[in-house]
Structure 1
Amino acid sequence: MRVTTGQHHPGEHPHVAAEAAPRPGGEDLGVILARALKDVGKNQKDLAAAVAVSHSTLNHWVTGKRGTSRADPEIFRRMAEQLRAWGSDVTVRELFQAVGRRVPGPTDREREQRLLDIYRSLPVEAQRALVQTAEAMKPGAISTG
């Protein structure tokens, strides 16, 4: 029997869950974005352009003039990814919590990257064994043993 604590998603490694814990004080979207943008030397216009949302819409979310309930959740994931690419420590979990959304599990791309990272960290013989195991797991694979 496997015992885990907290929310777990297949392919999510343990330090991601710990890193993604909400910040103390439960900051709102405006506070988080203002801090992150200042840290990386960018502004709302830069972020809006990078995530393909109008500056006006982003500004309304930040100032609370417009809610985020109808916004595509992928926008918040893109915001976090872009801010991280610029050097911020903002997480997807943090942004989703700030807008009152259910925190999504890792994307297919994130799970694939995690698997690739694991594969690359293994010695050659273990890499071969992992490939053989994966091949055996494919639909229609014939078991020989």
Structure 2
Amino acid sequence: MLNKPVLTVAETTRILEAARAHAENNNWAVAIVVADDGGHPLAMLRLDGSAPASAYIATEKARTAAIGRRETKVYEDMINNGRTAFLSATLQGTLEGGVPVIVDGQVVGAVGVSGVKSDQDAQIAKAGIQAIAA
């Protein structure tokens, strides 16, 4: 049987707090979601002033990054480069801002962020993930 690391409450909290700090340092009102490797939300935080829709979009970005095992920017780039048939895929979060959490070469979850420019969303997600980097 294979063994793999999983995100616990401790790691999830560290990711969420680091992402929150990065967003607040830049005065960015966003929603941040940490999901497990199946895309199921473990934690969500919607900062003051962020749009209600941001919580939904961040959740979908996290889910897409987790089950797709790659950053959601890959899907956005595919679509923007003409592969519009990909729009019919069942993935909802195909905008940049979803980033997988990789530990020992395995995806253990993902972080999705929504509320500012897509590259800034991704920057916040990566700042959160950095909090658990070895």
| TM-score where L is the length of structure 2 | 0.28
> TM-score, normalized by length of structure 1?
0.26
* Structure showing greater Rg: 1
**Higher strand proportion:** 2
More helix by share: 1
